Every structure is written in structure tokens, then in C-alpha cells.
Amino acid sequence: MAVNVSDNNFENEVLKADQPVIVDFWAEWCGPCKAMSPLVDALEQELGDTAKVVKINIDDSPEAPTKYGVRGIPTFMVFKGGEVVDTRVGGMSKGALTDWVKSKI
């Protein structure tokens, strides 16, 4: 299961990570976010050690979503070397999510 991060540990878990990090910005009240959750967990299993997958609840931790311009959820960002390399907003199929992430890491 993907690691839950917060504003308190976002820098260490995401920006200072040694490998690419896929961040899932979500909220409890978001239906599409709940639908994507098992797909994100499956993606994490598929990626193994090639990338890290984390989730951040935008209601509990508003600083990171604000800093990175999150306007709709779910929002997925791929970070490499502390920088955002690509962003996708909204739900998608497992295949589309996997293909997108693998093309960016």
C-alpha cells in the first residue's frame, strides 16, 4: 500500500527521495480518488523498487498541493530529483496510469 505523507514529511519522502516518486493528491470526500486508490496500490506493487508511490490528503496537508498548483483531484505528479516531471489530473484506467508512470520514470 502506498505510503501516506503529509506537509511535515513531504520534503524528505518526495523531494529528497533517491528514486522517482509518484504522488497521489486526494481527499476522503472525492469519489474518483476512492476509485483510483486500488489502482494506485496495484501500481506500487508493479513498480517494486523502481519508484516510490505516496499519497497526500489535501485536506490534512494543504501546503504541498498549494505549492504545486493542485486545482482538481485526484492529481498525480511524478517527481524526479525533487522536481515535477509530469502531472495528470482525474481518474484513468489502470493501463493508462501504468503506461503514463512508466514513460516518466
Q: Which of 2, 21, 33, 56 is catalytic?
A: 33
Q: Quote the CA–CA distance of 98 and 103 in Å, as a whole number.
A: 8
Contacts of the segment 37-41: beta carbons below 8 A, 24+ positions apart:
39/93, 39/94, 39/97, 40/2, 40/97, 41/1, 41/2
pLDDT at 85 over 90: yes
**Residue 100: what are its φ and ψ, rounded to 5°?**
-60, -50
Domain residue limits, the chain = 3-100
pLDDT at 76 over 80: yes
Mean pLDDT score of the chain: 96
CATH topology of domain 3-100: Glutaredoxin (3.40.30)
Q: Which of 22, 23, 30, 40 is catalytic?
A: 30
Q: What percent of the chain has pLDDT over 90?
A: 97
pLDDT at 1 over 80: no
Average pLDDT over residues 72-90: 97
Q: pLDDT value at position 88?
A: 97
Q: pLDDT value at position 2?
A: 84
Reported pTM: 0.96
Could you read off the pLDDT of 22-66 as tens digits, one per residue? 999 999 999 999 999 999 999 999 999 999 999 999 999 999 999
- ∠ at Cα 8 (6, 9), nearest 5°? 75
Strand, coil or helix: 23: strand
Provide the grid cell at 14.
Answer: 518526495
Task: Tell me if residue 30 is catalytic.
Answer: yes
